[in-house]
Structure 1
């Protein structure tokens, strides 16, 4: 992490997504209280968590910031948020580890997923080279494991609480044979990202899109 980040003070357009109504938070790790409506929703969520048989596991994994992340990501629907949290507890154990087997490591060496540089607000830039999925034999299950390894590593080592808590995603479509893109894998991959990386990807940028 560059030392200059310690002097970086995020402005309102970094803390909240610009012009969002209600305010859509992007920075959650703060010392102060959240906005009034966020605190009200958090209090209601805590009651639902306490009623759940997995409450101890949820409280062990989720601090207030991550509870609010999942709450916002589930549009402040309490039951859906708790269900998502229970699923996430198991998901973290299975996929979001900082360990890779040989096959997933080889996929990363091919350049399918990697992180390079930061934007002007010090958010890491995560790149997906989709064409790698269509070259040679790829174990799609291990490809997902490789991606979530990169995500877990980025969260643990590259994000800065209170300053840069999400990343920019670039999807490079150069040399992509769209007809060979695995549809089932792509749908499952997007669903898992939406379910388990709440409020982590600030935007998606497509590069080298071909004209139909």
Structure 2
């Protein structure tokens, strides 16, 4: 690239960046990107790669999947970006609240939670011995999740921070190309959302037959899948969790006895990734198609306090329709979507109408008669996403939008400014206004798009 061409590229890049809203900006690291642009004009995915090539302590907590080719055209529909969570979606135990939070970002925190964050920063500072209590970037926005997951035990929380560093940060970035062959098995994939707009993770045990032999392959694929949802399918303050279906159909046919030791090690690693590295994200997991004998054993060992979160489902087609619209599920689970083969599961499938209504379009089938028909008649399934035009707002958002902010009132700084620029539901907007920052709630697509017109 000639000097003149490079200068022209930089001028255009600066013009493009300054014309965008700060709310939709692609990075929290303008200095780093400016420095890189003097070397070579980066593609969008190259910027993401660069963010994960620096000091691990500065690696962002969102954005580890890079060089992606395509997404579902219903990945981030209007009904998701405008979802208004109730107390039941904000807290696993609305009456208790403390220690049962589900929504952590772009929302007010209790004084007890703020005090816990202060204590964590002090603990971090004392162990680092550098006199600064700023948490590393890779954990900054996840700090309260880590504390809650470890019952607000500072020592255990510090250990989990190290686990996140070792198990997540040191493996990133993950390029789509590097995990594409493993994704094609269809062992783990996103498919639709429940009625609370939460993405649904489907885990097919029988499809792990080849992957189970290599723990590292399984863990890398799992991190890619989960990282994808955090980066592209979530809306901080509105939708921050997922639900999981673990299907054991035919599992006993593909796993031999001599594979059990390695399978157990791999299962332990996957469990650590799901429960620890991405802690407080899973609302519930349903275990499907367990053999009768195994089902009884599993149910007997699930702790009482976990039975609301982990349960064995006897009749998937009946049980799952209590949580999903038929248009969000494959036919094997009682929905109207075509059952997918392994190689068809990626790019991940998302669909309009997870709450029963496609905004600006006709209503999808939701009545009980529709459900009973679609769940019993395989001929009524529909193919992929062909019945509706693209509605995803994904291309109007950036990494910063999906990061959100942790409203830690013990510190001042960028969270306040960025919170005032965020698209907040009514309760969050009201809470921020009481702190002296008047904010109008965002309840329409027109309001959501306002910053783009600035």
Give the aligned partner of residue 72 of structure 1. 148
**Deviation larger for 75-84 or 52-61:** 52-61
Q: Aligned in 2, Cα 1:4/1:71: closer, same or farther, shift over 3 Å?
A: same
Residue of structure 1 in register with 2:285 after alignment: 204
Partner residue in 2 for 1:59:
136
Q: Of residues 171, 181, 206 in structure 1, which corresponds to 2:246?
A: 171
Structure 1 stretch displaced more, 191-200 or 105-114: 191-200
Distance 1:133 1:205, change over 3 A: same
Q: What CA distance in whole angstroms lies between the structure 2 residues aligned with 1:90 and 1:188?
A: 12
- What residue is the counterpart of 1:105 in the other structure? 180
**1:86 paired to 2:162:** yes
Work out whether residues 123 and 154 of structure 2, in 8 Å CA contact, stay in contact via their aligned partners in 1: yes
How far off its partner does 1:169 sit? 1.0
CA shift at 1:62, angstroms?
2.4
Contact in 2 for aligned 1:97/1:152 (Cα 8 Å): no
Indicate conservation of the 8 Å contact 1:134/1:177, yes or no. no
Alignment gaps of 5+ in structure 1: none
Rounded to whole Å, the distance in 1 between the matches of 2:115 and 2:252 is 48
CA RMSD of aligned residues (A): 2.4
Q: What's 1:28 paired with?
A: 104
Give the direction of change, closer, same or farther, for the CA distance of 1:96–1:204 in structure 2 (3 Å limit). Answer: farther
Structure 2 distance, partners of 1:112, 1:118, is 18
Distance 1:19 1:29 in 2: 17
Q: What is the Cα deviation at residue 92 of structure 1?
A: 2.4
- Range moving further from structure 2, 90-99 or 154-163: 90-99
> For the Cα contact (< 8 Å) 1:96–1:152, is it kept in 2?
no
The answer to whether the aligner puts 1:130 opposite 2:205 as a matched pair is yes
TM-score (norm: length of structure 1)? 0.88
Give the alignment's TM-score, normalised by structure 2.
Answer: 0.43
Please list, as runs of the form range in 1=range in 2, the aligned pairs for 1:131-146 lying within 5 A after superposition. 131-134=206-209, 138-146=213-221
- Tell me the secondary structure at the aligned position of residue 162 of structure 1: coil
Given that residues 96 and 149 in structure 1 are in contact (C-alpha distance below 8 angstroms), is that contact kept between their aligned partners in structure 2?
no
Shift of 1:139: 2.8
What is the alpha-carbon distance in structure 1 between the residues aligned to residue 286 and residue 240 of structure 2? 18
Distance 1:42 1:174 in 2: 43
Q: Structure 1 residues 117, 59: CA separation in 2 closer, same or farther (over 3 Å shift)?
A: same
Cα distance in 2 for residues equivalent to 1:136 and 1:88: 23
SS class of match (1:177): helix
Higher strand share: 1
Residue 133 of structure 1: CA displacement?
A: 1.7
Q: Which moved more, 1:185-194 or 1:159-168?
A: 185-194
What aligned pairs does 1:148-163 form with structure 2 within 5 A after superposition? Answer: 148-163=223-238
Instruction: Note the alpha carbon deviations across 1:141-182, whole angstroms, 9 max, x for none.
Output: 212211110001110000110011010011011111175351
Distance, in Å, in 1 between the alignment partners of 2:272 and 2:212 is 23
2:116 corresponds to which of 41, 44, 47? 41
Q: Does 1:117 align with 2:192?
A: yes
Structure 2 residues without counterparts, runs of 5 or longer: 1-75, 294-454
* Contact 2:168 2:223 (C-alpha < 8 Å) held by counterparts: no
Higher alpha-carbon Rg: 2
